[in-house]
Structure 1
Amino acid sequence: MNKTVDIQDLGRKDYKESWDFQEELFKGIIDIKIKNRREDSGLPTPNYFLFVEHPHVYTLGKSGDIDNLLVSEEKLAEIDASFYKINRGGDITYHGPGQIVGYPILDLENFFTDIHKYLRFLEEMVIRTLAEYGLKAERSPGETGVWLDVGTPFARKICAMGVRASRWVTMHGFALNVNANLGYFDHMIPCGIKGKAVTSLNVELGKAEISVSAVKEKLLHHFTDLFEAELIEKAVS
Structure 2
Amino acid sequence: MNKVVLVEDLGSKDYKETWDFQEELFKDVVDLKIRNRREEANLETPNYFLFVEHPHVYTLGKSGDLSNLLLSEKQLADKGATFYKINRGGDITYHGPGQIVGYPILDLENFFTDIHKYLRLLEETIILTLAEYGLKTERSPGETGVWLDVGTPFARKICAMGVRASRWVTMHGFALNVNADLGYFDNIIPCGIRGKAVTSLQVELGVEKVDEEEVKSKILKHFEELFECELKSAVLQGFSNGTRIEQI
TM-score above 0.5, yes or no: yes
What do you get for the CA RMSD once the two structures are aligned? 0.7
Aligned match of 1:188: 188
- The DSSP-based 3-state class of the residue aligned with 1:158 is strand
Q: 1:178-234: CA deviations, max 9, x gaps?
A: 000000000000000000000000000000100000000000000000000101216
Deviation of residue 40 (structure 1)? 1.2
Per-residue CA shift, 1:53-88, capped at 9, x if unaligned? 000000000000000000100000000000000000
Residue 143 of structure 2: aligned partner: 143
Task: Give, as a single letter, the amino acid of the residue that structure 1 aligns with 2:99.
Answer: Q
Corresponding residue for 1:69? 69
Alpha-carbon distance in 2 for matches of 1:234, 1:34: 25
TM-score by length of 2: 0.94
Within-5 A mapping of 1:63-212? 63-212=63-212
Distance verdict in 2 for CA 1:106–1:146, change over 3 Å: same
Distance 1:222 1:108 in 2: 18
Match for 2:29: what amino acid? I
Which residue pairs with 1:50 in the alignment? 50
Amino acid at match of 1:78: D
Offset of residue 42 of structure 1: 0.3
Gaps of 5+ in 2: 236-248
Matched AA of 1:101 = V
Structure 2 Cα separation of the partners of residues 177 and 103 of structure 1: 15
- Distance across 2 between alignment mates of 1:84 and 1:91: 12
CA distance in structure 2 between the aligned counterparts of 1:29 and 1:145, rounded to whole angstroms: 26
- Residue number in structure 1 paired with 2:11: 11
1:41 deviates by 1.3
Give the aligned residue type for 1:20: D
| Mapped partners of 1:80, 1:154: distance in 2 | 30
| Counterpart residue identity of residue 171, structure 1 | M
Instruction: Measure, in 1, the Cα distance between the counterparts of 2:180 and 2:210.
Output: 10
Q: 1:11: Cα distance to partner?
A: 0.1
3-state SS of the aligned residue for 2:175? Answer: strand
Indicate the percent of aligned positions where both proteins have the same amino acid: 78
1:139 alignment partner AA:
R
Show CA shifts across 1:3-56 (max 9, x none): 000001000000000000000000000010000000111000000000000000
The match for 2:23 is 23
Match of 1:93, SS state, is strand
Q: Does 1:223 align with 2:223?
A: yes
1:97-130 CA-partner distances (Å, limit 9, x unpaired): 0000000000000000000000000000000000
SS in 1 for 2:64: coil
Structure 1: which 5+ runs fail to align? Answer: none
AA matched with 2:45: T
- The residue type paired with residue 163 of structure 1 is V
| Runs of 4+ residues deviating >6 angstroms | none
Paired AA for residue 204 in structure 1:
E
- Aligned-partner residue type, residue 58 of structure 1: Y
TM-score by length of 1: 0.98
Question: How far apart are the structure 1 equivalents of 2:9 and 2:60?
Answer: 24
